[in-house]
Structure 1
Amino acid sequence: MPPLTADDIPAYDHLPVIERLGLPHAWEVFGAGDDLGTLNYLTPAVVAAALAEATRGVPVGLNLPIDQPAPPLFGREPTRHEFFTHDRNTWDDRLDAFFPQGSSQWDGFRHVRAREFGFFGGVTAAPSRDRSWLGIDVWARRGIVGRGVLLDVAAHLLGSGDDLPCDVERAITPELLRQVAAAQGVEVRHGDLLLVRTGWPRKYAQLTPQRRAELAAAPAFPGLHAGEQTARLLWNWHVSALITDLPAVEPAPGDPAVGSLHRRLLPLLGIPLGELFDLEALSGRCREFGSYTFLFTSAPINLPGGCGSPANALAIF
């Protein structure tokens, strides 16, 4: 299949709909058997153009420590890190209870399915190490490189006297995302990797141990509005991925009447999701340089058939 251009992509309202769900899907946009979804937008031409963003030679890491947040969310166990010696001159270490999606991470296409209709592309088979179709290793073999765009929602709200709490359910609307983009003077282009900062990891780390334990047992936090308007905006913006510093991209505990943004984006539209990225230093650099665009790189781990991966991400100015 030849590389897709912006003109090749149907508008959200022109996508076919799974009638029983009442939700549109993009399973026919990228060709039969596709396992990249909107990562297909990252063509050689798009990646080559993104290299022009790295003019200062300044890299910024976007990864939390792998043992953060602590305690872990969503019932995961804490990662155990052990050092040991082979001999008097050699140290090694190992990880136990390591969840690839426990810290800064990618949700792969094997992470969420659309009920009986399956994972992205309509795949209904269970994840398997023996079959890499839709596995995170497919992304790992190509890498994720393109122009990153930061929408600093936290800074925008703080500028108007509104400090976004980390432990209260609150929806970030599509209208707010547009407002932030306009205020920053940035245009989201075809193939961009869209990063949204709320300040969640920093604020979560400042909570008392008791409050963090309460949130681990009963998550409550802000996120992008889970409804159709958010999905429409992201699809029509032609983002190659959505990346946030939030635990679940969308608010928790969520509203069943609104639906699931994960379901709308991952299995149906094929938009990869990044969660719990560390965007604090990035925000500072963007303000320092007066630019909210940069070269973005990520190297997911080559885990055959995997459902997700640590971020291993950088922004480069």
Structure 2
Amino acid sequence: MSEAVSARPAYRDLPLLDEGSDYRHAWEFWGKGDPLGCLNDITPQARARGLAAVRASEVVNVTLPLTLPDPPLFGRGAYTHTVFPPSKRNFVDEKVDGLFPQRSTQWDGFRHLHVPGHGFFGGVDVEPGRDLDTISVHHWAERGIITRGVLVDVSARIRPALDAAPDEPVAPVEAEELRAAVAASGVEPAPGDLLCVRTGWMAHYLEADAAERERVARRATWPGLSGSAEVAELLWDWGVAAVAADNPGVECSPGSRAAGSLHRRLLALLGMPFGELFDFETLHRRLGEAGHNDFLFVAVPLNLPGGAGSTGNAVALI
């Protein structure tokens, strides 16, 4: 794909992955082996729109420390950070062992999800450990993910239910609720924007005691977007370059067979990256004080050849 990306076809004009399914793909649109997918829409014009959203030139961190969540989720394990005493020349060295790039605030790359019978994003096959180039996350590092961010807040319904019964599933955010939240933000997403969804999960987690964090690490229940075709259609037709959320998976868990998988719909089939476990709490407060919900989003994923994901490495400029 060139820097000047042609207009996306409407979601309903995309081909179906399999006859009889409701999973549509953009593999032919982006081209086989394209490593950027929807990130192609972060054009100079999209970056300029992000720069124009900066009013106060204040930097807000939206990335968790690598030590959180603690205990780690999904059994990924904690890393070991070893700091060596000063050498004879007085330099201090260090090393990190056992680090999962997707342990904390993270990006899901296109190698993160395989579609059985079809391959990875674009319909390509990848031989991990040997092929270090095809749809690897290091391609994202070459340009960074630098564009306008739009923060939408769906926590008003979710947070009270989450606090009252954290072990119980919360109804997913369907397309109409997401559309209403975007309208309430006062910012209509434009092609190349990054949509940031605040569900309230992160606020709940950061306020939780050690016992609750232990329970969080053992369960796979959190609020989020529905995995439905309607949500995928909305995000695709807005032209969103990527979607980031303050929960562990962007989409809700548990999902439902009837709705389907948003990871498959967006990440693997449409080429729309997922950002997970982002901390939007300070950003939400500062944007509320400033009276707007758009900002410049800046992230540089790891330049990791062969990578399936990356640490978040992101800040917002408001």
Does TM, normalized by the shorter one, top 0.5? yes
Change (3 A) 1:81 1:167: farther
Kept in 1: contact 2:141–2:300 (CA 8 A): yes
Q: Secondary structure at the match of 1:231?
A: helix
| Separation of aligned partners in 2, 1:28 and 1:60 | 38
Q: Secondary structure at the match of 1:87?
A: coil
| Offset at residue 144 of structure 1 (A) | 0.9
| Separation of aligned partners in 1, 2:14 and 2:261 | 18
Kept in 2: contact 1:169–1:223 (CA 8 A): no
Which residue of the partner structure matches residue 57 of structure 2?
A: 57
1:69-148 superposed matches below 5 A = 69-87=69-87, 89-128=90-129, 130-148=131-149
- 1:182-236 deviation per Cα after TM superposition (whole angstroms, max 9, x unaligned): 2222211111100001222231233343333233222111111111111111111
| Offset at residue 100 of structure 1 (A) | 0.2
Which residue of the partner structure matches residue 9 of structure 1?
A: 8
Which residue of the partner structure matches residue 284 of structure 1?
A: 285
Which residue of the partner structure matches residue 251 of structure 2?
A: 250
- 1:89-130 deviation per Cα after TM superposition (whole angstroms, max 9, x unaligned): 332322222110010010000001221211110012233354
Kept in 1: contact 2:151–2:185 (CA 8 A): no
| Offset at residue 48 of structure 1 (A) | 2.2
User: TM-score, normalised to structure 2's length?
Assistant: 0.92
Which residue of the partner structure matches residue 297 of structure 1?
A: 298
| Separation of aligned partners in 2, 1:31 and 1:67 | 38
Residue 45 (structure 1) aligned with residue 45 (structure 2): yes
Q: Secondary structure at the match of 1:115?
A: coil
| Offset at residue 254 of structure 1 (A) | 2.2
In percent, how many aligned pairs have the same letter? 46
Which residue of the partner structure matches residue 28 of structure 2?
A: 28
Q: CA RMSD in A?
A: 1.9
| Separation of aligned partners in 2, 1:177 and 1:288 | 23
Instruction: Give the letter for the 2:303 counterpart.
Output: N
Instruction: Give the letter for the 1:70 counterpart.
Output: D
Kept in 2: contact 1:17–1:25 (CA 8 A): yes
Kept in 1: contact 2:36–2:140 (CA 8 A): yes
User: TM-score, normalised to structure 1's length?
Assistant: 0.92
| Separation of aligned partners in 1, 2:45 and 2:181 | 27
Which residue of the partner structure matches residue 237 of structure 1?
A: 238
| Separation of aligned partners in 1, 2:185 and 2:263 | 27
- 1:62-111 deviation per Cα after TM superposition (whole angstroms, max 9, x unaligned): 11010111111111111222222142633232222211001001000000
Which residue of the partner structure matches residue 306 of structure 1?
A: 307
Kept in 1: contact 2:249–2:276 (CA 8 A): yes
1:154-169 superposed matches below 5 A = 154=155, 156-157=156-157, 162=160, 164-165=162-163, 167-169=167-169
More divergent stretch after superposition (50-59 vs 221-230): 50-59
Q: Which runs of 5+ in 2 are unaligned?
A: none
Instruction: Give the letter for the 1:132 counterpart.
Output: D
Change (3 A) 1:3 1:92: closer
Aligned residues: 313
| Separation of aligned partners in 1, 2:130 and 2:41 | 27
| Offset at residue 152 of structure 1 (A) | 1.6
